[in-house]
Amino acid sequence: MAIPTIVNVSGVSKRFTLNRHKSIKERLVNSAVEKKYREDFWALRDIDLDIKAGTTVGLVGHNGSGKSTLLKVVGGIIEPTSGTVERRGRMAALLELGAGFHPDLTGRENVYLNAAILGLNQREIDRYFDAIVDFSGIEDFIDTQVKFFSSGMYVRLAFAVAVHVDPDLLLVDEVLAVGDEPFQNKCVAKIAEFQKEGRTIVVVSHSAAQIELLCDRVVVMNHGEMIFDGGTEDGIRVLQGGYEAQRLHEESLRATDAVPNTRVTSVLIASDEPEDEKTVVSGSDMTVSFGYEILEKEEPLVADLTIETTQGALVYGLSTRMLNQDLPNTPGRHQVDFTFKDPALGTGKYVLRGSLETLEGEQLHQLNPASTFTVSSPSPGTGYLRMDLRTHVYSLPPL
């Protein structure tokens, strides 16, 4: 039996008009040449997207990529400039913090108002009210005007209402990042419950870990265009590759023309592959070559090496000081090779960074980042560690 489509986005584009006037007075004075002060901005361009019932789709991309605009178009909050969007079933949306809440109404009144907007009748709201308040965890403030709520209280109540209106389609835009860790865990558990029930969820998030945990499909947006639509793991790699490319570009813009007396020349995986295609098989020995150059004799040196994720999280770090390794400090070009025996790195892309400093800790030069490499692993599982394992399945005797 074919899985039905719950959302169909066909040829959708969205244009916004940017006005360059700084004040109403400027707009009135320049009304005769209005077009000179207006500029079209295309937030979305020719988006085609089908979302099957029962799937959880993550929309990801850098700030300004169009993912939130696409979610609002799917939710019917804004109309596309061209193209069509078709939906089926009851929809609940958490697109902005406190959206649909009236600041002068109490939490109780807003529950009834918001739930009614989302399609529940009075009897249904009465039946779900206690569960909504209990899920939100703000019982003591439910009769307080929401304009006095903290951002966390806003999102708790909004999410509680959205998940209790029995939606077929749930749209979530980054609001989970506002709540504290226990509430985020509660939200993730509720979404997992929805997934088991076969409901459809579309999530916008900057958290790769959250997307990897929740989603079975990822759509990567870039400058209003959809550049990837597929599996979660591959989608996150595309996203992180874009972040790293931007990081490298910014580093190159900040680079100066001055040549320091002591400088790091290269930090990369030792292999015959091109620098931008270095690949390591997890479990095989891995050598990182750290090259540096000295123009005039230098005081004793320390080389620092770090391996990080493309998001900047430290995976491993060490220095020649830790290894009690002395480095040449005479003029010329020098190199130190760090060989890792059977590194337990998981599948993914990693960043190498290197720096030189004095024994007193004064930094002389750094390559930040220096290079990237990719790890492929024959072992199952995901994450930044490779763990060899065995499984044993057996039946237990009856109690």
The per-residue pLDDT for range 213-234, each reduced to its tens digit, is: 888 999 999 889 999 998 887 8
Phi and psi for 77 in degrees, rounded to 5?
Answer: -75, -40
Instruction: State the alpha helices, DSSP H only, in 86-170.
Output: 107-117, 122-136, 151-163
User: Does pTM top 0.85 for this prediction?
Assistant: no
Of residues 155 and 306, more confidently modeled: 306
For residue 160, pLDDT over 80 is answered with: yes
DSSP run (H or E) holding 191: helix 181-196
Of residues 275 and 350, more confidently modeled: 350
Structure tokens at 175: 């609001």
Based on the fold, state whether residues 264 and 118 are members of the same structural domain. no
What pLDDT, on the 0 to 100 scale, is given for residue 254? Answer: 53
Give the pLDDT mean for 372-398: 84
Asked whether 315 and 271 are in contact (CB, 8 A), the reply is no
Tell me the residue range of the domain where 332 lies: 258-376
Based on the fold, state whether residues 239 and 263 are members of the same structural domain. no
- Encode pLDDT of 248-301 as tens digits: 555 555 554 456 789 999 999 988 777 767 888 887 899 999 999 999 988 899
- CA distance between the termini of the chain: 40
Cα gap 6→222, rounded to integer Å:
24
Assess if residue 389 is contained within a domain. Answer: no
Q: What is the CATH number of the domain that holds 52?
A: 3.40.50.300
Assess if residue 250 is contained within a domain. Answer: no
Q: What is the CATH number of the domain that holds 299?
A: 2.70.50.60
Asked whether 262 and 356 are in contact (CB, 8 A), the reply is yes
Based on the fold, state whether residues 102 and 187 are members of the same structural domain. yes
For residue 312, pLDDT over 90 is answered with: no
**Edge-to-edge strands of the sheet including 279-281?**
279-281, 363-376, 348-358, 301-309, 314-319
Based on the fold, state whether residues 313 and 231 are members of the same structural domain. no
Based on the fold, state whether residues 225 and 309 are members of the same structural domain. no
Query: Rounded mean pLDDT of the chain?
Result: 84
What pLDDT, on the 0 to 100 scale, is given for residue 391? Answer: 87
Phi and psi for 351 in degrees, rounded to 5?
Answer: -120, 135
- Encode pLDDT of 79-88 as tens digits: 999 999 999 8
Based on the fold, state whether residues 86 and 226 are members of the same structural domain. yes
What pLDDT, on the 0 to 100 scale, is given for residue 129? Answer: 92
Based on the fold, state whether residues 27 and 128 are members of the same structural domain. yes
Asked whether 164 and 131 are in contact (CB, 8 A), the reply is yes
Based on the fold, state whether residues 192 and 331 are members of the same structural domain. no
What pLDDT, on the 0 to 100 scale, is given for residue 177? Answer: 63
**Which DSSP state fits 63?**
T
- From the list 382, 314, 316, 311, the residue with the least C-alpha distance to 348 is 382
Structure tokens at 393: 């399945």
Domain boundary among 187, 209, 244: 244
Based on the fold, state whether residues 239 and 265 are members of the same structural domain. no
Based on the fold, state whether residues 202 and 275 are members of the same structural domain. no
Tell me what percent of the residues of the chain surpass a pLDDT of 90.
31
- Encode pLDDT of 43-58 as tens digits: 999 999 999 999 999 9
DSSP run (H or E) holding 263: strand 262-269
For residue 21, pLDDT over 80 is answered with: no
Assess if residue 385 is contained within a domain. Answer: no
Q: Residue 31: what residue type? A: S
Based on the fold, state whether residues 130 and 165 are members of the same structural domain. yes
For residue 14, pLDDT over 90 is answered with: yes
Asked whether 125 and 112 are in contact (CB, 8 A), the reply is yes
Assess if residue 251 is contained within a domain. Answer: no
The number of folded domains in the chain is 2
Assess if residue 386 is contained within a domain. Answer: no
Based on the fold, state whether residues 226 and 93 are members of the same structural domain. yes
What pLDDT, on the 0 to 100 scale, is given for residue 156? Answer: 84
pLDDT classification of 388: cutoffs 50, 70, 90: confident
Give the pLDDT mean for 17-25: 65
- Encode pLDDT of 110-153 as tens digits: 999 888 887 788 898 999 899 999 988 888 999 999 889 887 88
Residues 6+ apart with CB under 8 A from 344: 282, 283, 385, 386, 387
